[in-house]
Structure 1
Amino acid sequence: MNISQEKIDNLNAVVKINIDAADYQPRVDKAIKDHAKKAKIPGFRAGMVPASHIKKMYGKSILVDEINNMLSDTLNKYLEDEQLEVLGQPLPKPGDEREYNWDFADNFEFNYEVGLAPAFDISFSADDKLTQYVIKIDPDTLASRIKNIRRSYGKMTNPDVSADDDVLYAELTQLSPDGSVFEDGITNTASVRLDQIKDEAIKASLIGLKKGDELVFDIQKAFDNDAAKVAGLLKIEEDAAADLKSNFRLTVKNVNRLEESDLNQEFFDKLFGEGTVTTEEEFRTKITEELESMMVQDSERKLQDDMYKYSLSKVNFELPDAFLKRWLKATNEKLSEEELQGGYSDFAQNLKWTLIENKIIRDNKIEIQYEEVFELAKIRLDQQFRMYSPQPLSDEQLGQYTVQYLQTKENANKIFEEVKALRVFDYLKSAITLDKKEILYSEFSDLVKA
């Protein structure tokens, strides 16, 4: 057997594999004998089928299988021995198809295109600077949070006339373009929250309504074309909601108002435990601390995103784009040309980040232990369980679920990649200069959206 590499350029190569009869014959003979021992063919006792009979009946298919196995084993070993960092997987070279007799005497030649990872250098030091935001809660955000908490512990009333932030319990009826009721159209009774109405003019028209009042409105405009919101109100599929063009008639059945709880000791004790908070000032301080603690995660996500973008900006290397596009098409049969072209830029950027990650890990000898993967998987599962049950699992139960979860290769790889990214971010935070800067939450939100 002969295997060689022809380098096309720094990012592309062709690996040529030549296999002759002496290479594959021993493997084929063994496979035929193994098949003969297991074959159940009428006229022969089990395990006593002559190898010559198996060769006559199944020889060509066995030969094809063994050649394919040899190709896979040989190609993988060659790439490992040569320490070639390939992107994607090797692909048969286009236009290189050959006709073979498959008569146990052929010599075979196969050519594979490979995409090579680019060589590059990247380093970080104290001269590299990024901003680490310390988020402070602004008065509007604090007021909004306090209002939501007070309403959560408040009581429901039914005023005669609707006001801002009320909920209209109403019948929604689909209308035809001429204003008549759409025959066999959509009708549903739902709770319409005025604080979720995005269009100010429509929101204003829903204020001042009383039981029995009717109003025609553009439901798509009201919710800023949020298909999920419209689908939920009308109890239809999101796809149907996205395509909906009709106006709707809203008939008020009731006006609901959630009154805010009083800021008294009973309310404070429900929230924080008896005697922990005794004044409105302490209450506001406590809510501020809780919000700012929650904002630490938002700040960390922003910093990680900035480190990601900054790392990408520090190096400028090309990828074997033509090969990678062909590989994506070959491994995703349903991928259209439009989807490929539209999504390739994001794919290439994520691939570049993966190469940078791997470079940082190699250069700095960062080792990822199984215990780290296990602990992160445990945290992620705990977060999922808490979404559905307020009662947390015992540590023993959570550990058992984690073991089961990581037995699936896809799950283990997903968590491993997350751990790898976190370790790289930790390294970057220790290597570069982080300038801490206080910022109000409202300003931080605008910064993230920009």
Structure 2
Amino acid sequence: MNISQEKIDNLNAILKINLNPEDYQPRVDKAIKDQAKKAKIPGFRPGMVPPAHIKRMYGKSILVDEINNLLSDTLNNYINEQQLEVLGQPLPQVDHSKEYNWDFADNFEFNYEVGLAPAFDIDFSSKDKITKYIIKVDDETLASRITNIRKSYGKMTNPDLSAGDDVLYSELVQLSPDGSVFEDGISNTTSVRLDQIQDAGIKAELIGLQKGAEVVFDIQKAFNNDAAKVAGLLKIEEDAAADLKSKFRLTVKNINRLEESDLNQEFFDKLFGEGVVTTEEEFKAKITEELETMMQQDAERKLQDEIYHYALDKVDFNLPDDFLKRWLKATNEQLSDDELQGGYSDFAKNLKWTLIENKIIKDQNIDIKYDEVFALAKQRLAQQFQMYSPQPIAEEQLAQYTVQYLQTKENANKIFEELKALKVFDYIKSVVTLNDKDILFTDFSKLVAEHKH
């Protein structure tokens, strides 16, 4: 057996494998004998089928399987021994000029295309400057948060007239084009939240109503053609909601209003514990602190995004793009040319970042220990549980859940990759210059939204 490498350029190569009968015959003979021991064929006792009979019946398919196995082993061993950094997997080159008899005496030649990882240097230093946003709570965000908290501890009332943030418990009835009730049409009694009405004119019509009042309105216009929202209100399928053209009559059955809790000591004690907060100023300071802690996570995500794009721009190298596109098509049969063209840029960016990550990990001798993986997985699970229950889960039970979670290979790989990325971000942050920049939360939100588009 002979395997050689023909380098096309720095990013592409051909691996040539030549197989002679003595290379594959021992594997084929063993596979035939193994199958003879297991085969259940009429006329032969179990385990007593002659290998020659198996060879006559299944020899060619066994030969094909064993050569494929031998090629796979040979390729993997060669790549490991030569320490080739390949991208994707080797792609077989089809040569229609070569025809084989598959008669256990052929000399075979197989060629494989490989894409090679580029060689590049990373030289981050204090000369590299990256913006780190320090998010500050603006008055609008603080007021909105305080309103939500006060409402969550407030009480429900039933005012005489509806206002902008009320909920109208209403009967909705489908109308014909002439304004009469549509026979056997759609009707449902449900809660209509006025703060979800998108059209200003329709919302204005629903303000100032009293119990028993009726309003005819265009439900699609009211919710800006949001089929999911219309379907939920009318209890119909989303497809049917999307095609709906009728107007509806809304009859107010009741008006519900969530009144804000008073800013008194009882309210402060419920929120923070007895005597921790005693004044409105202290209350606002606490809420501001809570918001800024939450915003630190947003700022950290933004900083990671800034580092990601800065690194992609700074570390300059090419990828074997043509090979990678062929490999993506070969391994994703359903992938259309348009999908490949549209998605390749993002694929290439993520691959480039992975190569940068791996080089930093290697060059800086960064270790990733199991106890660090365990701690991060435990932290992520604790955050998930917290979404469903404010009460923290017992430490011992959380540890048991973490062990179970990491036993799934996919979960373990996901946490490992996240930890690897965090360590790389921490390294880059330690060597570059981070320029702090104060920004109001409303401006920060606009900045993030603009970047996404």
User: Aligned partners of 2:374 and 2:152: how far apart in 1?
Assistant: 37
Q: Which range is displaced more, 160-169 or 193-202?
A: 193-202
Are the structure 2 counterparts of residues 250 and 110 from structure 1 closer, same or farther at C-alpha, using a change threshold of 3 Å? Answer: farther
User: Aligned partners of 2:344 and 2:245: how far apart in 1?
Assistant: 33
| Secondary structure of 2:262 counterpart | coil
State the 1:219 CA deviation. 3.8
Q: For residues 77-108 of structure 1, give each alpha carbon's deviation from its aligned partner in whole angstroms, at most 9, with x where no partner exists.
A: 11122222122111222555843222111122
Q: Is the 8 A contact 1:361 1:424 kept in 2?
A: yes
Q: Which range is displaced more, 83-92 or 148-157?
A: 83-92
State the 1:120 CA deviation. 2.0
Task: Give the equivalent residue in structure 2 for 1:372.
Answer: 372
Task: Give the equivalent residue in structure 2 for 1:322.
Answer: 322
Task: Give the equivalent residue in structure 1 for 2:306.
Answer: 306
Q: Is the 8 A contact 1:135 1:299 kept in 2?
A: yes
User: Aligned partners of 1:244 and 1:122: how far apart in 2?
Assistant: 58
Task: Give the equivalent residue in structure 2 for 1:114.
Answer: 114
How do 1:15-414 residues align onto structure 2 when only pairs under 5 Å count?
15-94=15-94, 96=96, 98-174=98-174, 186-236=186-236, 247-414=247-414
Task: Report sequence identity in percent.
Answer: 79
User: Aligned partners of 1:138 and 1:312: how far apart in 2?
Assistant: 33
Are the structure 2 counterparts of residues 54 and 306 from structure 1 closer, same or farther at C-alpha, using a change threshold of 3 Å? Answer: same
Are the structure 2 counterparts of residues 164 and 2 from structure 1 closer, same or farther at C-alpha, using a change threshold of 3 Å? Answer: same
| Secondary structure of 1:15 counterpart | strand
Q: Which range is displaced more, 288-297 or 330-339?
A: 330-339
| Secondary structure of 1:258 counterpart | strand
Are the structure 2 counterparts of residues 361 and 235 from structure 1 closer, same or farther at C-alpha, using a change threshold of 3 Å? Answer: farther
**What amino acid maps onto 1:124 in structure 2?**
F
| Secondary structure of 1:198 counterpart | coil
Are the structure 2 counterparts of residues 7 and 389 from structure 1 closer, same or farther at C-alpha, using a change threshold of 3 Å? Answer: same
State the 1:239 CA deviation. 5.8
Q: For residues 380-414 of structure 1, give each alpha carbon's deviation from its aligned partner in whole angstroms, at most 9, with x where no partner exists.
A: 22222333344443222222222222222222111
Task: Give the equivalent residue in structure 2 for 1:447.
Answer: 447
User: How many residue pairs end up in the alignment?
Assistant: 450
TM-score, length-scaled by structure 2:
0.92
| Secondary structure of 1:115 counterpart | strand
Q: Does 1:418 align with 2:418?
A: yes
User: Aligned partners of 2:161 and 2:111: how far apart in 1?
Assistant: 78
Structure 2: segments with no counterpart, 5+ residues: none
Q: Which range is displaced more, 262-271 or 318-327?
A: 318-327
User: Aligned partners of 2:228 and 2:425: how far apart in 1?
Assistant: 35
Q: For residues 137-157 of structure 1, give each alpha carbon's deviation from its aligned partner in whole angstroms, at most 9, with x where no partner exists.
A: 111111111111111111111
Q: Which range is displaced more, 251-260 or 40-49?
A: 40-49
Are the structure 2 counterparts of residues 133 and 185 from structure 1 closer, same or farther at C-alpha, using a change threshold of 3 Å? Answer: farther
RMSD of equivalent CA atoms: 2.3
Q: Which range is displaced more, 91-100 or 347-356?
A: 91-100
User: Aligned partners of 1:186 and 1:144: how far apart in 2?
Assistant: 37
TM-score, length-scaled by structure 1:
0.92
Are the structure 2 counterparts of residues 156 and 347 from structure 1 closer, same or farther at C-alpha, using a change threshold of 3 Å? Answer: same
Q: Which range is displaced more, 292-301 or 230-239?
A: 230-239
User: Aligned partners of 2:177 and 2:99: how far apart in 1?
Assistant: 65
State the 1:39 CA deviation. 2.3
User: Aligned partners of 2:83 and 2:244: how far apart in 1?
Assistant: 56
Are the structure 2 counterparts of residues 232 and 33 from structure 1 closer, same or farther at C-alpha, using a change threshold of 3 Å? Answer: same
Are the structure 2 counterparts of residues 98 and 374 from structure 1 closer, same or farther at C-alpha, using a change threshold of 3 Å? Answer: farther
**What amino acid maps onto 2:15 in structure 1?**
V
User: Aligned partners of 1:361 and 1:317: how far apart in 2?
Assistant: 18
Are the structure 2 counterparts of residues 227 and 81 from structure 1 closer, same or farther at C-alpha, using a change threshold of 3 Å? Answer: farther
**What amino acid maps onto 1:209 in structure 2?**
L
State the 1:182 CA deviation. 6.0
User: Aligned partners of 2:198 and 2:412: how far apart in 1?
Assistant: 42
User: Aligned partners of 1:184 and 1:317: how far apart in 2?
Assistant: 66
State the 1:48 CA deviation. 2.3
Q: For residues 399-437 of structure 1, give each alpha carbon's deviation from its aligned partner in whole angstroms, at most 9, with x where no partner exists.
A: 222222222222211111111111111111111111222
Q: Is the 8 A contact 1:96 1:111 kept in 2?
A: no
Q: For residues 7-26 of structure 1, give each alpha carbon's deviation from its aligned partner in whole angstroms, at most 9, with x where no partner exists.
A: 22322222221111110001
User: Aligned partners of 1:181 and 1:234: how far apart in 2?
Assistant: 15
Are the structure 2 counterparts of residues 96 and 283 from structure 1 closer, same or farther at C-alpha, using a change threshold of 3 Å? Answer: farther
**What amino acid maps onto 1:207 in structure 2?**
I
Structure 1 segments, 4+ long, off by >6 Å, are none
Are the structure 2 counterparts of residues 239 and 132 from structure 1 closer, same or farther at C-alpha, using a change threshold of 3 Å? Answer: farther
**What amino acid maps onto 2:269 in structure 1?**
D
Q: Which range is displaced more, 38-47 or 357-366?
A: 38-47
User: Aligned partners of 2:215 and 2:85: how far apart in 1?
Assistant: 65
**What amino acid maps onto 2:78 in structure 1?**
Y
| Secondary structure of 2:9 counterpart | coil
User: Aligned partners of 1:356 and 1:349: how far apart in 2?
Assistant: 11
Task: Give the equivalent residue in structure 1 for 2:429.
Answer: 429
Q: For residues 353-385 of structure 1, give each alpha carbon's deviation from its aligned partner in whole angstroms, at most 9, with x where no partner exists.
A: 111111221221212112221221222222223
Are the structure 2 counterparts of residues 307 and 222 from structure 1 closer, same or farther at C-alpha, using a change threshold of 3 Å? Answer: farther
**What amino acid maps onto 1:161 in structure 2?**
L
Are the structure 2 counterparts of residues 130 and 66 from structure 1 closer, same or farther at C-alpha, using a change threshold of 3 Å? Answer: same
Q: Which range is displaced more, 35-44 or 182-191?
A: 182-191
User: Aligned partners of 2:184 and 2:109: how far apart in 1?
Assistant: 66
User: Aligned partners of 2:82 and 2:181: how far apart in 1?
Assistant: 73
Structure 1: segments with no counterpart, 5+ residues: none
Are the structure 2 counterparts of residues 5 and 417 from structure 1 closer, same or farther at C-alpha, using a change threshold of 3 Å? Answer: same
Are the structure 2 counterparts of residues 129 and 104 from structure 1 closer, same or farther at C-alpha, using a change threshold of 3 Å? Answer: same
| Secondary structure of 1:52 counterpart | helix
| Secondary structure of 1:209 counterpart | coil
**What amino acid maps onto 2:168 in structure 1?**
L
Q: Is the 8 A contact 1:88 1:115 kept in 2?
A: yes
**What amino acid maps onto 1:69 in structure 2?**
N
